């Protein structure tokens, strides 16, 4: 659609340009120009009628569609008149009364369409001033048109015969123009369609050509193709432009004027009555001066319209002053109204309409106050007191939706005994705040009473809990003393038993050793039995020593001497300790010869390695047990790895706790006390070391110890550090 209209606009512009050149640069025979001029007028009329019909079909039902329905009908009749002229002009322009009748009927249809155009009356002016403006403008324009155009034609030309009815052309155009001027004068510019402006321009062009046509036709000098045809062509172009603007608008909308155009129309409308009266008087005086005779219609028209203009200016001045007060009242937020002595409303500002719930100000005039304020039975007394000296009180407003609002009503006499001015201050927010404050006060009082009750209850509970805690504390103190005594007795008992057991066990072990060395003729069974007894005594001795070491560690009495310790020396000691133990042959040592010394206590490190190997031998009954050592930076690592079934993941966090034994199946048959790994952790921590355990993917458990290594620098001697750690 947009592409088609752009192409059509371009074609029309090119056509108008060529047509203007053809008009002003004549060529060819008169009959040929007459035929060409008639065809040109018929063509533009055809385009205008078709576009008007297209516009009418694209507009929904409503005033917009009615406007273009009648305009398209009028343009079709004008097109028919132009077509009729082609057949009625054999060689010169001979117009028949039929064509004038068709043209007049078309102008009437266009007039009906213009009258149905959507518009809204001016709100800022009184109806009296609007009618005065309409009267001044219409009268002045009619008198001027008569004096300037129609009367000279009627006097100088013979309006008879074939061309006698041609005077209807400019008269019809002027009537349409006057109607459009009145529409622009009385309507709000925001609601006047912009297409009416282009229609007015087109009618003005028609008027100029029609007047020239009347002069030329009556003198027999008119021939189609004359420059006066340009006005009719431009008029059709203005109608085409008006239709094009309507089609461009959104469905159901009428294109409106721009802000600048509305400003110019408003200014022109305000000063147009004055300009028309001045123009009428000025033309009457010029006519009197140059012709030497007065024109009674122009003179008396100027006088009468001048008087009307003076009255109009007085009304305008009063409107301006009244509008200032009205704006002041309408823009204040306080609901305000005026009523008569009978208590019936006359005026109300928008704030009052909103307060009372009215959707239209037309419902206010004549409405009794009893329908607005409650209690309605007392309204008459309020009005009576208000007319005398004024009245103020708290009442309720009955809204149109049924709700009631509290207000502070104030009535003051505007005209004593006749008119009251009232204000109704809305108290809804104040009442809501009062209710909120009252509710908050009640909640605070309730909270205060509840707090006092809870405070008393809390004090009672605190007293009870204090007494209970005091008793519990005393009982805990007694239990703590008892536990300390029990722990001391336990430690003393363990130490006593261990000391008492270690001496006999040592003697028994030494006796059996001597017996095995001296009695070479003992039977093999007896020798095997003695060795079994000796191994059990050694195991028991080690258990006793572990208990003693553990007691010393717990008591903080086990001295550790940290110094350079060769892991090879520790290895030899452990080998001797395991010399008679089953499973010793499965141990493989992977300790580098150039391994630096560890910073540790030799006896403690020996005990650590012994317990790790003892644990591996017990819980990994088959497979190699690998002992590896290496250094990374300032840390040395000692690793013991077996090829058993590993340790359950849930047991690893508890593995180094005291008296813990893994829940593996063989742990129930393997003899142990759950002290070895606990001793390993405690000894390593005392030597600034750590231990970690993990299960290997291919099976078995891997224990990794970490201890600092001795850093030897040139020219420095390192002495052992002796500390007493628990």
Tokens encoding 115 = 């009258």
pLDDT tens, position by position, 351-404: 888 888 887 777 788 889 888 898 888 888 888 888 888 899 989 888 888 888
Give the per-residue pLDDT at 496: 65
Cα(325)–Cα(336) distance, integer angstroms: 13
pLDDT at 598: 94
Q: Note the pLDDT of residue 717.
A: 43
The better pLDDT of the pair 547, 526 is held by 526
Q: In this predicted model, which residue has the larger pLDDT, 212 or 91?
A: 212
Between CA 127 and CA 316 the distance in angstroms is 11
Asked if the model's pLDDT at residue 243 lies above 70, the reply is yes
Whole-model pTM: value is: 0.42
Give which of 587, 608, 594 is closest to 566, Cα–Cα.
Answer: 594
Cα–Cα distance measured from residue 109 to residue 115, given in angstroms and rounded to the nearest whole number = 10
Which band of pLDDT confidence, cut at 50, 70 and 90, is reported for residue 427? confident
Tell me how far apart the alpha carbons of residues 693 and 706 are, in angstroms, rounded to a whole number.
12
The whole-number pLDDT of residue 300 equals 82
Query: Strand 587-590 and strand 625-632: pairing?
Result: parallel
CATH code for the part of the protein at 332-426 = 3.30.450.20
- Peptide bond preceding 641: is omega within 30 degrees of 0, i.e. cis? no
The span from the CA of 360 to the CA of 532, in Å, is: 120
**What Å distances lie between residue 138 and 181, 266, 276, 678, CA to CA?**
8, 18, 9, 120
Residue 122 near residue 130 (C-beta atoms within 8 A): yes
User: Confidence class of residue 490 from pLDDT cuts 50, 70 and 90?
Assistant: low
Mean pLDDT over 76-88 rounds to: 76
Does position 210 have pLDDT exceeding 50, yes or no?
yes
Q: In the structure, what pLDDT confidence band is assigned to residue 28 with cuts at 50, 70 and 90?
A: low
Whole-number average pLDDT of the chain: 76
pLDDT value of residue 189 = 60
pLDDT of residue 670: 52
pLDDT by residue (tens digit) across 660-680?
Answer: 776 544 444 455 567 788 888
128-143 average pLDDT score: 75
Give the CA diameter of the chain.
184
CATH class entry, domain 558-724: alpha beta
- The pLDDT of residue 626 is 93
Distance CA 510, CA 717 (A): 42
pLDDT at 317: 64
pLDDT bucket at 589, cuts 50 / 70 / 90:
very high
In DSSP terms, 628 is beta-bridged to: 590, 639
| pLDDT band per the 50, 70, 90 thresholds, residue 487 | low
Angle at 204 between CA 202 and CA 207, to 5 degrees: 115
Top mean-pLDDT range of 162-176, 236-250, 376-390, 701-715: 376-390
pLDDT at residue 667, as a whole number: 44
| Alpha-carbon gap, residue 491 to 494, rounded angstroms | 5
pLDDT tens for each residue of 435-470:
888 888 898 998 889 998 898 888 898 888 888 888
User: At 204, which helix (H) or strand (E)?
Assistant: helix 194-219
User: How far is it, in rounded angstroms, from Cα 623 to Cα 287?
Assistant: 141
Buried b (16+ CB within 10 A) or exposed e, 632-665: eeeebbbbbbbbbbbbeeeebeebbeeeebbebe
Laid out side by side, the sheet with 598-600 consists of 598-600, 559-565, 721-724
């Amino acid at each position: 659609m947009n592409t088609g209209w752009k192409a059509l606009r371009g074609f029309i512009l090119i056509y108008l340009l060529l047509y203007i050149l053809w008009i002003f640069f004549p060529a060819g025979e008169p009959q040929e120009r007459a035929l060409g001029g008639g065809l040109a007028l018929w063509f533009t009329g055809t385009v205008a009628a078709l576009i008007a019909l297209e516009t009418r079909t694209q507009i929904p039902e409503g005033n917009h569609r009615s406007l273009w329905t009648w305009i398209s009908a009028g343009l079709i009749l004008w097109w028919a008149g132009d077509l009729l002229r082609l057949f009625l002009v054999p060689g010169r322009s001979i117009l028949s009364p039929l064509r004038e009748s068709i043209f007049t009927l078309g102008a009437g249809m266009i007039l009906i369409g213009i009258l149905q155009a959507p518009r809204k009356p001016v709100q800022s002016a009184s109806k009296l001033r609007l009618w005065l403006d309409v009267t001044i403008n219409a009268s002045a324009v009619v008198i001027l048109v008569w004096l300037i155009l129609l009367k000279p034609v009627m006097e100088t030309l013979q309006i008879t015969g074939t061309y006698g009815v041609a005077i209807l052309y400019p008269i019809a155009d002027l009537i349409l123009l006057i109607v459009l001027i009145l529409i622009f004068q009385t309507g709000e510019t925001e609601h006047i369609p912009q297409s009416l402006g282009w229609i007015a321009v087109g009618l003005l062009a028609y008027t100029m050509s029609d007047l020239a046509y009347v002069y030329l036709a009556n003198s027999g000098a008119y021939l189609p193709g004359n420059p006066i045809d340009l006005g009719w062509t431009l008029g059709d172009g203005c109608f085409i432009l008006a239709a094009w603007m309507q089609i461009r608008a959104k469905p159901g909308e009428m294109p409106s004027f721009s802000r600048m155009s509305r400003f110019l129309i408003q200014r022109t409308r305000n000063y147009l009555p004055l300009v028309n009266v001045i123009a009428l008087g000025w033309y009457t005086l010029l006519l009197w001066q140059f012709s030497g005779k007065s024109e009674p219609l122009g003179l008396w028209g100027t006088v009468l319209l001048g008087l009307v203009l003076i009255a109009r200016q007085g009304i305008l001045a009063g409107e301006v002053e009244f509008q200032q007060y009205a704006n002041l009242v309408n823009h204040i937020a306080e609901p305000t109204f005026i009523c008569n002595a009978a208590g019936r409303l006359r005026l109300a500002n928008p704030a009052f309409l909103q307060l009372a719930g009215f959707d239209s100000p037309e419902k206010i005039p004549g409405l009794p106050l009893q329908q607005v304020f409650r209690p309605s039975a007392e309204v008459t007394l309020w009005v009576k007191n208000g007319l005398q000296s004024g009245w103020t009180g708290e009442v309720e407003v009955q809204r149109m939706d049924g709700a009631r609002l509290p207000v502070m009503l104030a009535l003051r006499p505007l005209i004593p005994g006749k008119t009251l001015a009232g204000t109704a201050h809305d108290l809804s927010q104040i009442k809501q705040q009062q209710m909120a404050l009252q509710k908050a006060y009640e909640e605070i009082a309730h909270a205060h009473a509840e707090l006092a009750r809870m405070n008393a209850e809390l004090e009672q509970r605190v007293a009870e809990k204090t007494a209970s805690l005091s008793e519990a504390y005393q009982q805990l103190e007694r239990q703590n003393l008892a536990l300390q005594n029990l722990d001391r007795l336990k430690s003393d008992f363990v130490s006593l038993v261990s000391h008492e057991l270690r001496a006999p066990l040592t003697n028994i072990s030494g006796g059996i050793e001597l017996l095995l060395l001296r009695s070479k003729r003992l039977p093999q069974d007896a020798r095997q039995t003695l060795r079994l007894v000796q191994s059990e005594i050694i195991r028991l001795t080690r258990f006793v020593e572990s208990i003693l070491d553990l007691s010393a560690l717990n008591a903080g009495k086990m001295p550790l001497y940290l110094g350079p310790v060769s892991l090879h020396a520790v290895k030899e000691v452990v080998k001797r300790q395991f010399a008679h133990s089953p499973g010793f042959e499965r141990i493989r040592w992977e300790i580098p010869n150039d391994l630096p010394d560890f910073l540790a206590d030799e006896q403690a490190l020996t005990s650590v390695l012994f317990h790790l190997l003892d644990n591996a031998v017990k819980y990994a009954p088959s497979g190699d047990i690998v002992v590896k050592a290496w250094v990374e930076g300032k840390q040395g690592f000692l690793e013991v790895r077996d090829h058993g079934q590993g340790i359950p993941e849930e047991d690893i966090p508890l593995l180094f706790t005291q008296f813990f034994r893994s829940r593996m199946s063989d742990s129930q048959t393997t003899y142990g006390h759950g002290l070895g790994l606990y001793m390993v952790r405690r000894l390593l921590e005392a030597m600034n070391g750590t231990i970690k355990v993990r299960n290997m993917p291919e099976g078995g458990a891997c224990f990794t110890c970490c201890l600092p290594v001795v850093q030897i620098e040139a020219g420095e001697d390192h002495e052992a550090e002796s500390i007493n750690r628990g």
